[in-house]
A and B are shown apart, each in its own frame.
Chain A
Amino acid sequence: MKLTFNIQGGDFTHAGKPSSEVKKVLKQLNVDGKTVKNIVIALYEAEVNVVAHAWKGTVSAEIDENKITIFVEDDGPGIPDIELAMQAGYSTASKQVRDMGFGAGMGLPNMKKNTDELLIESIVGKGTKVKMVNYFK
């Protein structure tokens, strides 16, 4: 099964839609609660990253018998130093985004903590590709 969504940069009103849909489907498939929670956290953070930093992006979630593979790809400014971006507390978010309670530098660490595999590729000035895999228990 494959689910796909579009994300518009700057559109915080719809942040959380893909995570919400994926959560519903995984619950219907009786995936265990803890795994669903992890996936929802990681996907929400990835979505918010696109909304907060990029111009536009897509989410595609491929659900197999034993795992979910999520690709989040954006057209955006890219990440110059991924290792630095992975550090808890490091953020390049705007003041407006921070005032909303986002941009505390916890997004990528949350994604790392809640996925079995996380792969980030980025080209500065072009965009970022994130691949996240979670295995079902």
Chain B
Amino acid sequence: MKVSELVEKLGLNVFSGHKGLDREMAGGYVSDLLSDVMGNAREGEVWITLQVHQNVMAIASLKDLAAVILVSNLQPHENTIRHSNDENIPVLGTSLPTFEIAGRLYQLYNQ
């Protein structure tokens, strides 16, 4: 499934990294601990988090993640947006809290 389909089906905002919307997703990862994501997330996963600072993008890039979803209407920092555009890794947003969006993403991905 492409990131663009997630955006469409889950009604996500696209904050940045539009050029990366055709990335293929390979599952999801949910964590707000950066070392956990660094150590355990896998290439192509979509990362759901409440962290909005630019180190999120450093990790998304180092781990070759497909996209980042920010929960509960949180807004990315300006340098997060810049980094996302540089790396072509989309930063997406939702009004839903983590539990809700993770559940919907899981369901959609495993359909």
A residues touching B (Cβ–Cβ < 8 Å)?
A: 12-13, 15-16, 19-20, 23, 37, 40-41, 44-45, 48, 100-102, 104, 106-107, 110, 113-114
In the complex, the answer to whether B39 meets A106 with C-beta atoms within 8 Å is yes
B58 lies within 8 A of chain A by Cβ: yes
- Per CB-CB distance, the 10 closest pairs between chain A and chain B, nearest first, are A16-B58, A106-B35, A101-B34, A110-B39, A104-B33, A101-B51, A40-B62, A101-B32, A102-B34, A101-B33
In the complex, the answer to whether A44 meets B51 with C-beta atoms within 8 Å is no
A114 to B39, CA, bound (A): 9
B residues touching A (Cβ–Cβ < 8 Å)?
A: 32-36, 38-39, 43, 49, 51, 53-55, 58-59, 61-63, 79
Given A12-B53, A12-B55, A101-B51: A106 touches B62 (CB 8 Å cut-off): no
In the complex, the answer to whether A41 meets B53 with C-beta atoms within 8 Å is no
Name the residue among B32, B35, B39, B49 with the largest chain A CB count within 10 angstroms.
B35
Please indicate the chain B residues that have their CB under 8 angstroms from the CB of A15 in the complex.
Answer: 55, 58
In the complex, the answer to whether A102 meets B35 with C-beta atoms within 8 Å is yes
Please indicate the chain B residues that have their CB under 8 angstroms from the CB of A113 in the complex.
Answer: 39
Main secondary structure of the interface of A (DSSP, over half): helix
Please indicate the chain B residues that have their CB under 8 angstroms from the CB of A13 in the complex.
Answer: 54, 79
Residue in contact with B36 in the complex, picked from A20, A44, A106, CB distance below 8 Å? A106
A108 to chain B, nearest CB (A): 10
What are 11 contact pairs spanning A and B, CB under 8 A?
Answer: A15-B55, A16-B58, A23-B62, A37-B63, A40-B63, A44-B58, A48-B34, A101-B55, A104-B35, A113-B39, A114-B39
Please indicate the chain B residues that have their CB under 8 angstroms from the CB of A100 in the complex.
Answer: 34, 51, 53, 55
In the complex, the answer to whether A16 meets B35 with C-beta atoms within 8 Å is no
